[in-house]
Structure 1
Amino acid sequence: MDDVLRQLSRVAFAGRELSDVLGDITGIAAGAIPGAEAVSSTLIRDDKAFTAAYSGEMALAADELQYAQGHGPCVDAGRGGVVLRIDDMRTEQRWPDYVARVLRETDVRSSLSVPLPYQGSSIGALNVYSTKPTAFASPESLAAGLEVAETIAVAVANADAHAQLVDQARNMRIAMESRAVIEQAKGVLMAQRHCTPEQAFEILRQASQRYNRKLREIATGIVEGVQEGA
């Protein structure tokens, strides 16, 4: 377990795409979780599940079968926040449609799905697969899976926080630009109509309602009209 933690602690987050970070983490998981032969990270956004990173084609194939069915251990683990383990696909009674296709189309015989301990704009799960039954029955497999899932959750939370900051900065810039063009338009109207700032703003507001257009669009049209006529 200490070796898993050391490897995970070395993963760099700053200045990297989430997919690259998750690629590193799933690669570590594939070599560090007892019994793992293939590993993937499922994220669910707006109720749509997708594989954000994987190590081993078997993991991707098993994931996509679940997305096609709309349910399965990794999807249900992510949505429900519960650990779901399949010891033997040949005797598994849950998710019969998914299990039938897994047995027919892949070599997966057991799996472990660990939810991400993070509830934000993204939820999801760590998925671990093996060609052998009961590959993840040991406490060590679950303990390692929980550690990896926590690291994935940190990466996802950081990415979501960064995206929110970018959106906030963009919205602030748009708001400042809107304020500036509205003030310019008010100045034009004050000069043309010899009115007060309050009266100029009221003219803009009434035009916005009359033409069913945003106040900023009305103001931009006025400013651009003056610039073209200069």
Structure 2
Amino acid sequence: MAAPSTDPGEALAELSRIRLDEVDLADILRRVAGLANQTVPGSAHVTVTLAQGGANSSAACTSDLARQLDEWQYRYERGPCLDAAASAASISLPDLAVEERWPEWAAQARAAGIGSSLSIGLPIQEAVTGALNLYGLTAHAFDGVAVRAAENFAAYAAVALANAHLYDNAATLARQMQEAMRSRAVIEQAKGIIMGERRCSADEAFALLSKLSQDANRKVREVAEALVANAAGR
């Protein structure tokens, strides 16, 4: 069994030092995959599966080979990484040559040079689950020490990913709110211009903006921006 190249304590410390305001979710997922591959004894390839809204994806991977093994499971909707993500459990396949639960996938993995696999469920959020998937080159690549190391790492990684996901959602909502506020401001400006030029009410001004939007097949905000820009030019 290959020894880890990174001390587990150092890996967990690096996870805790991640600044959510400096890196995006994709980068955090890549760090999680890379650190797991360096930390867990026997690991040769790592992926991180995310399952949300019925869709599964390998959000991060350390090799194309590992990603392809995951994608086979997504395509046929069965396999250890999907079961681990759904159950938040640890699923170890110590010898793919005698694997009976997913024989077709095991044959694919063995043909790619993989002898064993280990998937650890990641309960990230109620609506988002995942799995940390580790692939070994030989049978029995992950002994009891390696499984415990993977589970310990996954527990910290799940917290980091949950925080990152919450931060990403909050940042997206903030951007959407800012955009909505900008749109509202420019629409109010355009309404004011129309009201001043046509001596009409606010409702009538907005009705005119809506009609111009429909006639031009453009968003109301875009019509309003053009009107404000034209008035500023005059």
Same fold (TM over 0.5): yes
Offset of 1:73 from its aligned partner? 0.8
Instruction: Indicate yes or no: 2:129 matched with 1:123.
Output: yes
- Give 1:154's aligned residue: 159
Cα shift readout 1:78-132 (whole Å, capped 9, x = no counterpart): 23423222122122111232122222x2222221100112126643211122233
DSSP-derived class of the 1:10 partner: helix
Cα shift readout 1:105-162 (whole Å, capped 9, x = no counterpart): 2222221100112126643211122233333352x33321122212322332233233
Q: 1:30 to 1:48 in 2, by over 3 A?
A: closer
1:59-208 map, 5 Å: 59-103=66-110, 105-119=111-125, 122-138=128-144, 140-195=145-200, 199-205=201-207, 207-208=209-210
Cα shift readout 1:9-58 (whole Å, capped 9, x = no counterpart): 1343112344444444434433433443433322335513125032x665
| TM-score after normalising by structure 1 | 0.77
Q: Greater shift after overlay, 44-53 or 111-120?
A: 44-53
- Give 2:57's aligned residue: 49
Cα shift readout 1:172-224 (whole Å, capped 9, x = no counterpart): 222222222222222222322334xxx22333136526864654344335434
**Structure having the higher Rg:** 1
Cα shift readout 1:57-76 (whole Å, capped 9, x = no counterpart): 65445334434444311133
CA RMSD of aligned residues (A): 3.0
**Amino acid of the structure 2 residue aligned with 1:112:** L
Q: Which runs of 4+ in 1 moved over 6 A?
A: none
1:181 and 1:92 map into 2 onto residues whose CA distance is 63
The percent of aligned pairs where both chains have the same amino acid is 35
Q: Is the 8 A contact 1:19 1:53 kept in 2?
A: no
Instruction: Indicate yes or no: 2:46 matched with 1:39.
Output: yes
Q: Is the 8 A contact 1:43 1:52 kept in 2?
A: no
Gaps of 5+ in 2: 1-6
1:194 and 1:4 map into 2 onto residues whose CA distance is 72
Instruction: Indicate yes or no: 2:15 matched with 1:7.
Output: no
Q: 1:5 to 1:185 in 2, by over 3 A?
A: same
Gaps of 5+ in 1: none
